[in-house]
Amino acid sequence: MTSQAADGPDTVAASRRSKITPEREREFFDAVLEQIRECGYDSVTMEGVAASTRCSKSTLYRQWKTKPQFVAAALRANRRVRFAGIDTGSLAGDLRRAALAAGDWSGKDTRLLQALGHAVTADQELARALREALVDPEIAALEEMLARGVARGEVRAGHPALEYIPAMMFGVLRVRPVLSGQYADSDYLVRFVEAAVLPALGLT
C-alpha cells in the first residue's frame, strides 16, 4: 500500500506531510487507549505513550497539539459499531445477537468509558469524541432494531418499555463490574435479554 493512503480528517493533518503511516498512527492510538483503560485518563502521560510505542514525545506533539486532542483523535479513530449489520428477522433474535456482540467488547469499552468518565466533563471535544466513538452508534443501531420490530408488528408503536431498552442494555453492561466485580460477558447479557428485556417488551 502506498504511503499516502487514506488520510481522513481527524488523522494526520493532510496539509503537512508526515512520515507517520496510518498503521503507525493506529499504534499510537491503541497505546493511549490501552493506557487510559489501565491507569485512567489523568494518569496517562504522553511520555508513557511515547515510551510504549518507541517514539518520542516530540513526534506526538508534532501531530497533535495537546493531550486531550490526541486522546479525542484516538477515540474517533477507534469508532466502529459493535453490532452493526445485525438483522435476524425478529426483534428477539436481534437483541440476543446484540447482547452476544456486546459481551465481546464489554470489558474494553466499559473500562474506557469508566476511565474517561470524568475527564469528559472538563473537555467538550473529548466528550463529543467519546459519544461519537462509543455511545451514539450503538444507541442508533439499537433503536433501528427496535424500529424494525415495531414495523414488523412485533411490538406496538408507543410501547412504554421501548424508550428504556437502550438504557437497560447499556446500564446493565456498565454497572455489572460495580455490582459483582466482573465484566458482563455474552452469556450474562443474553440471559439478561431473555429474562428481562424481552418480557418487558411483552415478547414472552
Q: State the residues that interact with DNA by CB under 7 A.
A: 3, 16-20, 24, 43-47, 50, 54-59, 61-63, 65-67
Task: Determine, following the binding rule CB under 8 A, whether residue 139 of this chain makes contact with a copy of itself.
Answer: yes
Q: What nine digits make up the cell of 61?
A: 506533539
Answer yes or no whether residue 179 interacts with a copy of itself by CB under 8 A: yes
Window contacting a copy of itself (CB under 8 A); options: 23-31, 60-68, 70-78, 118-126? 118-126
| Residue 183 within binding range of a copy of itself, rule CB under 8 A | no
Count CA within 13 A, CB hemisphere, residue 107: 8
Helices (H), 40-180: 46-52, 57-63, 67-77, 91-116, 119-122, 124-130, 136-151, 165-180
Residue type, 7: D
Q: Which stretch binds a copy of itself (CB under 8 A): 11-19, 45-53, 99-107, 158-166?
A: 158-166
Min separation Cβ 52 and a copy of itself, Å: 19
Which residue number, 16 or 179, has a Cβ lying nearer to DNA?
16
Q: Which residues fall within 8 angstroms of residue 84, CB to CB, at 6 or more apart?
A: 137, 141
CA of 52: how far to CAs of 30, 32, 40, 71, in Å? 11, 9, 16, 16
Residues in contact with a copy of itself by CB under 8 A are: 39-43, 113-115, 117-119, 121-122, 135, 139, 160-161, 163-164, 166-168, 170-176, 178-179, 191-192, 194-197, 199-200, 202
